[in-house]
Amino acid sequence: MSLSLWLGIGPLIPLLGALAVGFLGRQPNLRDGFGAFTALMLLLWSITGFVQFNLSHEALLWNAPLIFASPIEGIPLAFSIEPLGLCFALLASSLWLITHLYAIGYMRAKQESHQTRFYVAFCLAMACLMGLILADNLLTLFLFYELLTLTTYPLVSHKGDEKTRKNARLYLMLLMGSSLLLLLPGILVFWQWTGSLNFTPGGLLDKDQPGVALLYLLFVLGVAKAAVMPLHRWLPAAMVAPTPVSALLHAVAVVKAGVFTLLKVTLYLFGAEVIHAQATLLLWLPALTILLASFVAMTRDNLKERLAYSTISQLSYIVLGTVLANSMGLLGGALQMLMHGMAKISLFFVAGVILIASGKTNISELTGLGRQMPLPFIIFTLASLSVIGLPPFGGLWSKWYLALGTVEAGQYLLLGVLMLSSLLNIAYLLSVPLGAFRPSAQPFALKKVPLSCQVSMALPALACILLFFAAEPLIQLLRPITG
Amino acid sequence: MLMSLHLAVLPILLPMIGAPLAALLGRSSWAWWITLIISIGQLLCFVAMLPVVLGGQPLDYSMGGWAIPWGIAYRVDALSLFMGLLIAAIAVLTCVYAKHSLRTDVDHEKLPYAYCCMQLCVMGLLGMVLTADIFNLFVFLEISSLATYGLVSLGKDRRALLAAFRYLVTGTLGATLFLIGVGLAYTATGTLNLEDMAQKFATSPHQRTIQGAFAFIFAGLVLKIAIFPLHLWLPTVYRFAPSAVAVLLAATATKVALYVLVRCQFGLFGQAISASHYLAELLLVGGVLAMLYCSYLALKEDDFKGLLAYSSLAHLGYMLGGMGLLSAKGLSASLMQLFAHTLAKGGLFMLAGIMVLSAGTSKISQLTGLAGRSPLLFLALVICGLSLVGVPGTVGFVGKWQLLDAALTQGRFGLVLAILASSLMALAYVWKILETAYSNPQSNMQLTVKPGWLMPLSMWSLTLGCLYFGFFSQWPWQLAQHAATVLWGSS
């Protein structure tokens, strides 16, 4: 398959899937089956890319972008692929398939309304995500970044009551407002400085360009999808969405799209060396977010909200690695993108299963539930251990390289932050299963959990173990770009 | 061959025949067909002139064969062509839209007159764009204004009469000031031809008179354009005029007045006056105030058409800001913004018309549940609304990008901040509409009156235009650049 054909059909698969799912709305079984088929096709597509383009990972695939429009003179809309995007595409598409299976069980068990709209919006969001991953320049990325916000709005506001609408409005206003107010001028200033927005290995900026840190700050804050404080409020607000949305979009796709944007901007526009030399002061933004979000997570009793704050904290690990911008930090950040996604989606799936079975959303109400249904809480424990960064789980590698990155940069205080945060992770994550396995006064009345939910809940957690042993190929793939 | 010689004047001549015919024949369907054919003819004229003008040479035409400083001259350069194409295209779409819309908005026996007025209004607008004679320009300004007063007063709501009267008073005041300015300029130079006048200004001993002339012309135009704080007439006009008329006015009328300002300021009075620091600051400050204050008013408005009107005023601020940059880049960005706003706002006013048709009022709350009732209409609302905000993928983004780019290049950070803040407010007020339309209705209201297929057709043409030019903006942008450089070269 030629590269441009492969690039072209990537976003088309979920787009066509959205159309088909929309047309099949009256036959739920056919509709959901076709949704799964679409997700499977996308997975095959990304595996094809992995197999076909991994062979020559020295010769990165910069030279053959697929240009499909030109809104502004000198800046076309174009697709291309590089290793980081390939990894993200593989992660997102494999987790989409699992999430879709989970969603079929979840949406039916909860008897949610407007399921067709839900699946259509889901497909559209995935199409936007693919466009974002494949973006060859910052303008293309910006386009799909905004579209991703828009297409996820119906998913966040799915329930449609007053509280949901209020939260969904906050979600949209914060994400889109920050991108229009901060990211857009950032892009423009970059365009003025360099006359190009094309992602180029090594970056485009001169080493002694003044004002880099200030411009970079516009990006770090403007890409609010990375949820760096103080622009993080949208993520807890988005938890009003159905669990599959929180799981895939607000633990993997949307938030990782944010840090992916920052990684790409750092690696291919600013240049890692420039950021490493000039943006040291900005390190404290993610460092503070890591700690503050962890502390807030400990105070939250709503399980999904606690997980959301945990996500905010863990995302800032990636931002930290990105702003460190040395090879270890970047590698750690890129790995954390994959490892955390894999582990966190499992945690959300468990939260959804608990909701289906017992109707409980608060951690304090779960006492004793673990004795009646141990499986979800065992999986929760496994995934938590990966998030914390203990062996034998994939999460170890990302934390390991991030720690090495801080040492390499001589930032021992930041190393301390990472260590402290790991302790906090233990406190707020493991307290959930610990509480659940305590004996309770009266038994819960449990509903049946669909098999598809149980299976898809377990798969990513098991993948975390697999990733501990099989991280080497990923590291090999990412090494050339992180230096 | 003979026809091609007269291309520059045909867009004016055609409605001179068509308008009385439409009024005299007395049958509304005939009047509609005549108007449609005439407006398509006008559009074709402009399309035919495109290759000639883009070749670099403006198209000159002397009325009646009288040589240029004495006779009335017409001149089509890239700027006129840009505006002319836009107006003629909007006129065709409005006419298509009007068939169903006017039938419900206007008493049946008045319909032929409405079509007659529409033709006259478009004729006046195109005349202002084509003519190279400043008195002739005034005449066309009056023709289009008088036709507009008539059109606005046709609205069934009795408040339309008041709106028309207010508009009449303001418009007449503006036109009078403009005429005084023209008179002063004439006394200083003894000519009415724009090019001739511009040359004589440079050597004229009466510089004070010329400055006075410009002041009057500027004040008159500011009233016509409805620049904040002289904007009060506009929202009521847009709200209470028949929907098709609101579309025509919102998409073209104030923009043509803006064109006249550009033409006078940069083409006629030259850099001596127009490039003065003071005037640039006036435009910039006026633009910024309009952007911020009118966006704020739009946020508070709870009537759909009223909100769109305030948003128009805010977007005029963008265009003024671009003009105030006093550079070819800034002016072409302004023109691009004008193009983008015409598409988006035209589409939104058409949508508002369809909504009024079925709901009877244009309160925003009436939009509740639109997404469920007619998803396609909602989709159009989303696209046009986002174009208004300037979200990438829409033509509004291209306009905003170019404007920001120009402002940054010249270090005008205040303008940059104002544009960003205003687009944030635009996001807020557009989202207010979208959220209402998306939310589930309490009562399951149905579309009572079907809008037929002509109204959605013209609305969708503009909506798809918003999308198409958001991805492929070469030709409007190149035309805008061409227009700006032509004008900048001449002054």
Q: pLDDT tens digits, residue range A41-62?
A: 999 999 888 887 665 555 455 5
DSSP one-letter string for B58-117 = PEEEEGGG--TTTS-EEEE-HHHHHHHHHHHHHHHHHHHHHHHHHHHHS-GGGHHHHHHH
Q: A-chain residues within 8 Å CB-CB of B397?
A: 71
User: Is the pLDDT assigned to residue A130 strictly greater than 50?
Assistant: yes
Return d(Cα B49, Cα B81) in angstroms, integer.
Answer: 8
- Closest approach of chain A CAs to the CA of B471, in angstroms? 4
Size of the A and B interface in Cβ pairs below 8 Å: 72
Q: How many Cβ atoms sit within 10 Å of the Cβ of residue B212?
A: 16
Contact assignment for B474 to A70 by CB distance below 8 Å: yes
Collapse the DSSP code of A198 into the 3-class scheme (helix H, G, I; strand E, B; otherwise coil) and give the result.
Answer: strand
B471: contact with A, CB 8 A cutoff: yes
Collapse the DSSP code of B76 into the 3-class scheme (helix H, G, I; strand E, B; otherwise coil) and give the result.
Answer: strand
Contact B59, B75 (CB under 8 A): yes
Domain contains B353: yes
Tokens 């065709």 found at:
B92
User: Is the pLDDT assigned to residue A355 strictly greater than 60?
Assistant: yes
Domain contains B5: no
How confident is the model over A178-192, as pLDDT tens digits? 999 999 999 999 999
- Closest approach of chain A CAs to the CA of B368, in angstroms? 13
- Closest approach of chain A CAs to the CA of B308, in angstroms? 20
Return d(Cα B323, Cα B334) in angstroms, integer.
Answer: 6
Q: Alpha carbon of A1 to those of A6, A51, A290, A337: distances in Å?
A: 7, 11, 43, 28
Q: B-chain residues within 8 Å CB-CB of A146?
A: 391-393
Output the pLDDT for position A250.
84
Tokens 């509409």 found at:
B433
Return d(Cα B300, Cα B290) in angstroms, integer.
Answer: 15
| Range(s) of the domain holding residue B390 | 284-491
The total number of structural domains in chain B stands at 1
| Distance of alpha carbon A260 from the chain centroid | 8
How confident is the model over A81-109, as pLDDT tens digits? 888 888 899 899 999 999 999 888 888 88
Collapse the DSSP code of B472 into the 3-class scheme (helix H, G, I; strand E, B; otherwise coil) and give the result.
Answer: strand
Contacts of B224 (CB under 8 A, 6+ apart): B141, B145, B171, B174, B175, B178, B254, B257, B260
Tell me: cis bond preceding B392? Omega within 30 of 0 counts: no
Q: How many Cβ atoms sit within 10 Å of the Cβ of residue B139?
A: 15
Collapse the DSSP code of B203 into the 3-class scheme (helix H, G, I; strand E, B; otherwise coil) and give the result.
Answer: helix
Output the pLDDT for position B224.
86
Domain contains B401: yes
Domain contains B316: yes
Output the pLDDT for position B449.
65
A181: contact with B, CB 8 A cutoff: yes
Domain contains B348: yes
- Closest approach of chain B CAs to the CA of A85, in angstroms? 22
Return d(Cα A310, Cα A235) in angstroms, integer.
Answer: 11
Contact B423, A180 (CB under 8 A): yes
A188: contact with B, CB 8 A cutoff: yes
Interface-testing mutation among A15, A68, A72, with chain B (most B C-beta atoms within 10 A) = A72
> Percentage of chain A with pLDDT > 70?
97
B435: contact with A, CB 8 A cutoff: yes
Q: How many Cβ atoms sit within 10 Å of the Cβ of residue B489?
A: 8
Return d(Cα A143, Cα B467) in angstroms, integer.
Answer: 13
What region does B402 belong to: left with phi over 0, alpha with psi -120 to 50, or beta?
alpha
A157: contact with B, CB 8 A cutoff: yes
Average per-residue pLDDT for chain A = 88
Nearest to B352 by CA among B245, B243, B433: B243
Nearest to B174 by CA among B288, B257, B238, B256: B257
Long-range pairs for A164-172: beta carbons < 8 A, 24 or more residues apart: A164/A240, A165/B435, A165/B439, A167/A237, A167/A238, A167/A240, A168/A237, A168/A238, A168/A240, A169/B431, A169/B435, A170/A233, A170/A234, A170/A237, A171/A234, A171/A237, A171/A238, A172/B431
Domain contains B157: no
Helices (runs of H) and strands (runs of E) counted in chain B: 23, 2
Please report how the helices A327-358 and A303-324 are oriented relative to each other, as an axis angle in degrees rounded to 10: 170
Tokens 């895939």 found at:
A248
Dihedral sign, CA of B266, B269, B274, B276? positive
A161: contact with B, CB 8 A cutoff: no
Output the pLDDT for position B491.
40
Return d(Cα A251, Cα A318) in angstroms, integer.
Answer: 13
Output the pLDDT for position B100.
86
Contact A270, A203 (CB under 8 A): yes
Contact assignment for A192 to B408 by CB distance below 8 Å: yes
Q: B-chain residues within 8 Å CB-CB of A184?
A: 404, 420
A177: contact with B, CB 8 A cutoff: yes
The encoded tokens of residue A422 equal: 């790991």
Phi first, then psi, for residue B27 (nearest 5°) are -110, 130
Which amino acid, A27?
A: Q
What region does A202 belong to: left with phi over 0, alpha with psi -120 to 50, or beta?
left
Least CB–CB distance from B408: residue in A147, A160, A188: A188
Residues 31-70 of A with CB under 8 A from B: 69-70
Q: What DSSP element (H or E) covers A79?
A: strand A75-79
Output the pLDDT for position A61.
53
Tokens 């009325």 found at:
B63
Nearest to B76 by CA among B12, B131, B4: B131
| DSSP letter (8 states) at residue B190 | S
The tens place of each residue's pLDDT in chain B, 491 residues long, gives: 455 678 888 899 999 999 999 889 878 889 999 999 999 999 999 998 888 888 778 888 888 778 777 788 888 888 999 999 999 999 999 999 988 888 888 888 888 999 999 999 999 999 999 998 899 999 999 999 999 999 999 888 888 899 999 999 999 999 999 999 999 999 988 888 888 888 888 787 888 888 888 889 989 998 888 887 777 888 888 888 898 999 999 989 889 999 998 888 887 877 556 556 777 888 888 899 999 999 999 999 888 899 999 999 999 999 999 988 888 889 999 999 999 999 999 999 999 988 888 777 788 888 887 787 788 888 999 999 999 999 998 999 999 999 999 999 988 898 999 999 999 999 999 999 998 888 876 555 555 667 788 888 999 999 999 999 989 988 899 899 888 887 776 44
For the CA atoms of chain B, what is the radius of gyration? 21
Q: How many Cβ atoms sit within 10 Å of the Cβ of residue B113?
A: 20
Least CB–CB distance from A169: residue in B393, B435, B470: B435
Residue predicted with more confidence, A399 or B70:
A399
Output the pLDDT for position B1.
45
| DSSP letter (8 states) at residue A359 | -
Q: Alpha carbon of A394 to those of A460, A475, B405: distances in Å?
A: 11, 12, 45
How confident is the model over A410-429, as pLDDT tens digits? 888 889 999 999 899 999 99
Q: Distance between terminal CA atoms of chain B?
A: 33
Which amino acid, A221?
A: L
Nearest to A165 by CA among B434, B385, B444, B426: B434
Nearest to A311 by CA among A351, A284, A276: A351
Return d(Cα B356, Cα B354) in angstroms, integer.
Answer: 6
What region does B449 belong to: left with phi over 0, alpha with psi -120 to 50, or beta?
beta
A156: contact with B, CB 8 A cutoff: no
Contact B337, B422 (CB under 8 A): no
B424: contact with A, CB 8 A cutoff: yes
Output the pLDDT for position B490.
46
Nearest to A118 by CA among A130, A133, A100, A136: A100
Contacts of A445 (CB under 8 A, 6+ apart): A358
DSSP one-letter string for A73-130 = TTEEEEE---HHHHHHHHHHHHHHHHHHHHHHHHHHHTT-S-HHHHHHHHHHHHHHHH
> Which ranges of A24-82 would DSSP assign to H, the alpha helix?
28-54
The encoded tokens of residue A136 equal: 């060859």
Question: Residue A195's closest chain B neighbor by CA?
Answer: B405
Q: A-chain residues within 8 Å CB-CB of B398?
A: 71-72
Q: B-chain residues within 8 Å CB-CB of A181?
A: 420-421, 424
Interface-testing mutation among A188, A193, A196, A221, with chain B (most B C-beta atoms within 10 A) = A188
Contact assignment for B423 to A71 by CB distance below 8 Å: no
Q: How many residues does chain A have?
A: 483
> Which ranges of B390-473 would DSSP assign to H, the alpha helix?
395-409, 413-438, 454-471
